[in-house]
Amino acid sequence: MSIEINGKQIGGTNHVYIIAEAGSNHNGRFEAALKLIDIAHEAGADAIKFQSFIAEKIVARNNPSYEIFKQNELPRGWHKELFDYAKDKGLDFLSTPFDLDTADFLKDLGVPAFKVASGDITYVQLLEHLGRLELPVILSTGKSTLGEIEKALEALSTDKVILLHCVASYPAAYEEMNLKAITTLQNAFPGIPVGLSDHTLDYICALGSVPLGAAVIEKHITYSRAAAGPDHSFAMEKKEFKEFVSQIRNLELALGRGFKKPTPAESSSITRGRRSIHAAKHISRGAVLLEEDLKVVRPGGGIEPKYLPCLIGKKVRVDLEKDDMLTWSSIDLSN
């Protein structure tokens, strides 16, 4: 099954949908947000994704992280300009709503899909609301069990869902990535595209997810890993992200469709690379062939090696020089 996001088919044999996760790496600066869109565009990503949260609606004021959230809010007034800028660059603009009102705001803005953060997989009210808005939902599954994912899907009550395997550690370690969980999710929830939200420091795991059938890959981006803020240290800078996207596309080409047959390039060299039966020495016309008269060497194109026993005791119709290729027309098959 595939799901459409802004005209792009996600899942099945379609291209991996690559999301550049800008998150809150704009650090409260509009120009930085534009720069993140530029990075996603120049790398060839399919989408840029931000996080649309209001600090007071996501965390209690007495929580130590409140000020961090407050400093990294994405102002409502920026959204339309960022949306249009991304659209002009050929990017889908996505954002994660963390409350119901923001979900409505994003729907009115024209986002083609919603992203749900791992931490909200049990926020039933938000999930139910998103389901009613009838847009595709990309659901991260960090820190969750299969049972919790099943309940989240029930709350969403829509068939337009993409699941992202995710390890919600920042950064995530290789030994915790458990990429085979992608297959587990595919088997547990057949028909639902599955992808990866990757928080490792490089893109080995992202590449490894592609042959497992990842339909979507999300990766954090930044203009500088040295920048202050919670998500910069494990995000990819411009050059690395561009290489990452390129490697994903190359890997997709290399994986192919799975049909086993000679490729066009192979077809042109099949004869040259295979063997056929050749004369091991000069053989006079009318001579009866003995095993020592023949050898099996390259190139092919003559009598195939499997017919060697059939030639022993047959007469040749023409003179053969050493290394001449035997053909059926050169053999007298009457005796």
Characterize the bridge pairing of strands 276-279 and 294-297. Answer: antiparallel
For residue 55, the model assigns a pLDDT of 87
Do 165 and 86 have their domain in common? yes
Do 92 and 143 have their domain in common? yes
For residue 257, the model assigns a pLDDT of 86
CATH (domain of 312):
3.90.1210.10
Collapsed DSSP state (helix, strand, coil) of residue 114? strand
Do 216 and 93 have their domain in common? yes
For residue 311, the model assigns a pLDDT of 97
Q: Which residue, of 190, 222, 255, is where some domain finishes?
A: 255
Do 125 and 237 have their domain in common? yes
- Is residue 260 in a domain? no
Do 183 and 66 have their domain in common? yes
Do 159 and 218 have their domain in common? yes
CATH (domain of 69):
3.20.20.70
Do 165 and 296 have their domain in common? no
Do 184 and 134 have their domain in common? yes
- Is residue 80 in a domain? yes
Separation in Å, CA 122 to CA 49, 160, 180: 22, 18, 23
CB 79 within 8 Å of CB 33: no
Q: Which residue, of 255, 284, 311, is where some domain finishes?
A: 255
Q: Which of 92, 74, 96, 75 is nearest to 83 (CA)?
A: 92
For residue 87, the model assigns a pLDDT of 98
Owning domain of residue 188 = 3-255
For residue 334, the model assigns a pLDDT of 87
- Is residue 105 in a domain? yes
Look up residue 115 and give its two tokens: 């992203």
Do 68 and 147 have their domain in common? yes
The one-letter amino acid code at 137 reads V
Q: Which residue, of 188, 220, 255, is where some domain finishes?
A: 255
Helices (H), the chain: 30-43, 55-58, 66-71, 76-88, 100-109, 124-132, 146-156, 174-177, 181-188, 204-209, 238-255, 264-267, 270-273, 308-311
Which pLDDT tens digits describe the chain residue by residue (335 residues)? 789 999 999 999 999 999 999 998 999 899 999 999 999 999 999 999 999 998 899 999 999 989 888 988 899 999 999 999 999 999 999 999 999 999 999 999 999 999 999 999 999 999 999 999 999 999 999 999 999 999 999 999 999 999 999 999 999 999 999 999 999 999 999 999 999 999 999 999 999 999 999 999 999 999 999 998 888 999 999 999 999 999 999 999 999 988 999 999 999 999 999 999 999 999 999 999 999 999 999 999 999 999 999 999 999 999 999 999 999 999 999 87
For residue 228, the model assigns a pLDDT of 86
Characterize the bridge pairing of strands 92-97 and 47-52. Answer: parallel
For residue 230, the model assigns a pLDDT of 83
Structural domains of the chain, count? 2
The one-letter amino acid code at 197 reads S
